[in-house]
């Protein structure tokens, strides 16, 4: 089978190559999965360039999340059957989804609901977990306002949907081209970051929380007295 592999340790992203390797053996507690799709997350690029928590393996397959179809169920891997469509992510210390077949601990996997295409679900796992984990830690109350920067992006769009499920009022900064999709997902107020300055559009203390995956200037602006 083929896999996308970092061929040596270090910071050279260019060492990634498509290579033929053996399909892995399924261990106890694992599923063997035929990969269907995997998003290239920004963190994948960082991980493949070398990350303190990534202990280089040989072969080091790239990719942190994705979807696929169960080919084998290892001993003690409960609740799954051959043919199940599954979504999963891997720990930063144990990456590897850019391959035709992978093995993965069953407890990193969930079944994909029948109304979602397996291929499309490959964009969801890590962005959704990031958004869900961050927003639930805030423990917000229904009706409170959250400002989500980059609301049309991978993490931002998941954060919008989680926030709406929590009953929050969501204001988002993004690009005009994403507005129709964002409206459909329930965005309450849209700020086009290319033509508007969110710190001028919003009133002092207008929002209860800021969800920011972009940092830098946005973070600094969000700390200005006029906004905080």
Ligand X SMILES: NC(=O)c1ccc[n+]([C@@H]2O[C@H](COP(=O)([O-])OP(=O)(O)OC[C@H]3O[C@@H](n4cnc5c(N)ncnc54)[C@H](OP(=O)(O)O)[C@@H]3O)[C@@H](O)[C@H]2O)c1
Q: Binding residues for ligand X, per CB under 6 A? A: 41-43, 126-127, 130, 149-150, 152-156, 173-175, 193, 213-214, 218
* Min CB(43)–ligand X separation in Å: 5
Instruction: Confirm if 137 and 106 have CB atoms less than 8 A apart.
Output: no
* Min CB(185)–ligand X separation in Å: 13
| Measured distance CA(53)–CA(63) in Å, rounded | 15
C-beta of 82 vs 181, nearer to ligand X: 181
* Min CB(155)–ligand X separation in Å: 4
C-beta of 163 vs 213, nearer to ligand X: 213
- Nearest residue to ligand X on Cβ basis: 153
Instruction: Confirm if 101 and 115 have CB atoms less than 8 A apart.
Output: no
C-beta of 43 vs 71, nearer to ligand X: 43
Instruction: Confirm if 112 and 67 have CB atoms less than 8 A apart.
Output: yes
* Min CB(193)–ligand X separation in Å: 3
* Min CB(119)–ligand X separation in Å: 18
Compute the Cα dihedral for 205, 221, 51, 32 and give only its sign: positive
Phi-psi region of 99 (alpha: psi -120 to 50; beta: other; left: phi over 0): beta
C-beta of 74 vs 152, nearer to ligand X: 152
Q: Which residue has the tokens 């089978």?
A: 1
32 sits in which H/E element:
strand 30-37
| Measured distance CA(18)–CA(3) in Å, rounded | 6
Show the tokens assigned to 110: 């969930």
C-beta of 126 vs 171, nearer to ligand X: 126
* Min CB(63)–ligand X separation in Å: 12
C-beta of 32 vs 145, nearer to ligand X: 145
């Amino acid at each position: 089978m083929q896999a996308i592999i970092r061929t040596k340790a270090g910071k050279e992203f260019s060492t990634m190559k498509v290579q033929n390797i053996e399909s892995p053996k399924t261990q106890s507690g694992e599923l063997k999965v035929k990969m269907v799709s995997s998003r290239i997350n920004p963190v994948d690029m960082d991980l493949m360039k070398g990350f303190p928590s990534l202990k280089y393996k040989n072969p080091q397959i790239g990719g942190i999340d994705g979807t696929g179809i169960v080919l084998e169920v290892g001993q003690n891997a409960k609740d799954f059957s051959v043919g199940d469509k599954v979504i999963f992510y891997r720990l930063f210390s144990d990456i590897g989804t850019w391959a035709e077949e992978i093995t993965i601990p069953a407890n990193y996997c969930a079944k994909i609901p029948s109304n979602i295409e397996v291929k499309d679900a490959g964009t969801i796992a890590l962005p959704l977990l990031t958004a869900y984990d961050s927003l639930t830690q805030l423990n917000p109350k229904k009706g409170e306002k959250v400002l989500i920067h980059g609301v049309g992006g991978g993490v931002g769009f998941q954060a919008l949907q989680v926030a709406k499920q929590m009953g929050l009022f969501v204001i988002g900064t993004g690009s005009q081209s994403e507005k129709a999709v964002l409206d459909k997902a329930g965005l309450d107020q849209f700020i086009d970051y290319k033509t508007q300055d969110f710190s001028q559009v919003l009133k002092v203390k207008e929002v209860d929380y800021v969800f920011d995956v972009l940092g830098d200037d946005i973070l600094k602006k969000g700390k200005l007295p006029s906004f905080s």
